[in-house]
Amino acid sequence: MEPDFEVLGVVAVMGTALAVGIAVMIAVRIPSMFKDTSRLNQTTDWAAGPESQQKTPTMTCLTPYELRLITSHLEAGETLEGFGRAFFVPHRAKDWRFGTTLEKLPLLVAATSRRILLFEVTVMIVHRYCFISYDEIEYLQPPKQGMLGASGRMRFGLRTGREYQVGFFGPLLNEEGMRQEQSMAAHFRRIAPRFASSPAPHSMHRAAA
């Protein structure tokens, strides 16, 4: 049987297209593979959580406990604008685990009138925390309002070069939790204009240095 050159031609074209597609994908991903992420989502220098911590009941809404934790760290005259559960973007290797949804949300974020409060947690056990004054922030990309009132991702950078990118959980079945998250996101959107809206100026400055 003689070979069907028309079929062979189609196969050759498809193979070439596939090879080109793979090459393009690799070319696009190579810069991110070598991108310096050493300053992104680092928590190793955060303050350690207290050795003795109160256990929270199981099968219980944690919003009141989160509120109690956050308000215990407010300064005189400082007001709470909202808070929410979050995850780091991209996910860190240690955050990939079996467990409940809350166990996969290692961050509690709160917005106050003066600061961003960050708590690295497992459920309600605080491992580390970091409180950032708005004066320390160089740029802020606030979370956009998503579907059903949920919040999108937020990214901000500090004058020290440290950067954080997080996504918010959006607890749709928790009315108070959603209210707090929406209030927090709205506050970040209100204050964003006082900062640079893009990390580009910071990245260019750091590259020049």
In this structure, the answer to whether residues 114 and 194 fall within a common structural domain is yes
In this structure, the answer to whether residues 89 and 168 fall within a common structural domain is yes
Q: Which amino acid is at 65?
A: Y
CATH number for the domain spanning 158: value is: 2.30.29
In this structure, the answer to whether residues 3 and 83 fall within a common structural domain is no
In this structure, the answer to whether residues 73 and 144 fall within a common structural domain is yes
In this structure, the answer to whether residues 74 and 23 fall within a common structural domain is no
In this structure, the answer to whether residues 126 and 71 fall within a common structural domain is yes
The tens-digit pLDDT sequence of the chain (209 residues) is: 555 556 556 556 566 666 655 654 554 444 444 444 568 999 999 999 998 887 777 778 899 999 999 999 999 999 999 999 999 999 777 776 655 555 668 999 999 999 999 999 988 899 999 999 999 999 999 998 877 777 889 999 999 999 999 999 888 889 999 999 999 999 999 999 999 765 554 444 444 34
In this structure, the answer to whether residues 198 and 125 fall within a common structural domain is yes
| pTM for the predicted model, two decimal places | 0.74
Structure tokens at 74: 């407010």
pLDDT at 56: 76
pLDDT at 93: 74
**163, 157 in Cβ contact below 8 A?**
yes
**129, 120 in Cβ contact below 8 A?**
yes
Task: Return the SS3 of 50.
Answer: coil
In this structure, the answer to whether residues 64 and 155 fall within a common structural domain is yes
In this structure, the answer to whether residues 95 and 8 fall within a common structural domain is no
pLDDT at 160: 93
In this structure, the answer to whether residues 139 and 84 fall within a common structural domain is yes
Range of the domain at 25: 1-33
Number of domains in the chain: 2
